[in-house]
Amino acid sequence: MIKFLDLNKINTRFEDELTSGFQSFLNTGYYIKGSEVSSFEEHYAAYCGTKHCIGVANGLDALTLIFRAYMDLGQLKENDEVIIPANTYIASILSVINSGLKPVFVEPDEATFNISPSEIEKHITPQTKAIMAVHLYGQLADMVAINDIAKTHNLLVIEDAAQAHGAVLSSEGKKAGNLSHASGFSFYPTKNLGALGDAGAVTTNDTELAECIKLLHNYGSSKKYINEKIGFNSRLDEIQASFLNVKLKHLDDDNSIRRTIAQRYLNEIKNPKIRLPFYDLSNNHVFHVFVVRVDNRSHFIDHLEKYQIGYLIHYPIAPHHQKALLRYKSLYLPITEAIHETVISIPMSPVMTNDEIETIINALNLY
Ligand SMILES: *Cc1c(COP(=O)(O)O)cnc(C)c1O
């Protein structure tokens, strides 16, 4: 059986460093907001090229705290419209709804799966105040076009970079997390940079926003027992920061292995029944997942199971068709719906063996 993703194998590569990190963490006796969190914040800001990084509890909180902080600063107010991709993981949309803002669903570009800039323009109203771009599956959204639109209409741009740690926009020499006003990252264990539990971060060059989030994520407080704002408890755990400090050093190598595997899939899978993803061969893609499209997905799944190849579907139900988002059910989003009916992800990770890669390629060519 080829696992879809072998998390144990991913992390045991660094077992010695992770274990000694835990030992020194244990011995400090300092378990919340210690030196590992501040050093990770420094390292990750430097990695992304941003002025600030604030560690938080998870990716959803990172995005929600960005919206809450903009509201606190008076740059957004309740019921303002936020343009979001209809084709995304539900967390992107929840961060908008949970902040009391109004999500406006916009269709993707069918080739890249990412939000279509021309569709964004059609949905701008006087109430529109922000655009959320999601770098879905690890490929950067069209940030040049999105930032142009935002400038013209005076809108905020927020990146959901939860799937794109390390993706580079070469034309600007900038990374995911540094292509908008503020970005939310998740370090959920399966992400390209994954902790050993929940973790997240906000990156931004906006000092006022960063200061506000630093307060909001820690009970609205910078000094113990002095509360300046109505805040939350959403801190990055010290132990997770220590693991992330170890794993960040290997992120670029891991991403380049993912790209090499993706190129083999793209070159060697030759089957008209399997539609391969668009890739421009640049470093703007970190292949968080490798997503193909097939007309008859259940038939394709039978084939994968016969060859003992793991798979997942990202995602099986469009957000506007989820029970939780019933009030958006009648939206007409045919591209998003077709994507959800036909996509399936095959194994992709930096610890796959050559044999596994070849078995997968051969099996797909036999479908
Ligand atoms: C994983 C993910 C999130 C949420 O991250 P959590 O850490 O699970 O809260 C948000 N958006 C996207 C696109 C994701 O893939």
**What is the distance in A from the centroid of ligand 1 to the CA of 363?**
31
Tell me, using a 6 A CB cutoff, whether residue 160 lines ligand 1: yes
Tell me, using a 6 A CB cutoff, whether residue 89 lines ligand 1: yes
**What is the distance in A from the centroid of ligand 1 to the CA of 184?**
9
**What is the distance in A from the centroid of ligand 1 to the CA of 257?**
22
Q: pTM for this one?
A: 0.98
Instruction: Report residue 367 as tokens.
Output: 């479908």
Tell me, using a 6 A CB cutoff, whether residue 159 lines ligand 1: no
Tell me, using a 6 A CB cutoff, whether residue 92 lines ligand 1: yes
Task: List the chain pLDDT tens, one digit each, 367 residues.
Answer: 999 999 999 999 999 999 999 999 999 999 998 999 999 999 999 999 999 999 999 999 999 999 999 999 999 999 999 999 999 999 999 999 999 999 999 999 999 999 999 999 999 999 999 999 999 999 999 999 999 999 999 999 999 999 999 999 999 999 999 999 999 999 999 999 999 999 999 999 999 999 999 999 999 999 989 999 999 999 999 999 999 999 999 999 999 999 999 999 999 999 999 999 999 999 999 999 999 999 999 999 999 999 999 999 999 999 999 999 999 999 999 999 999 999 999 999 999 999 999 999 999 999 9
Tell me, using a 6 A CB cutoff, whether residue 186 lines ligand 1: yes
* Residue 129 to residue 306: CA distance in whole angstroms: 50
CB 151 within 8 A of CB 117: no
Q: Probe ligand 1: pick from 61, 136, 159, 188, max atoms within 8 Å of CB?
A: 188
**What is the distance in A from the centroid of ligand 1 to the CA of 89?**
7
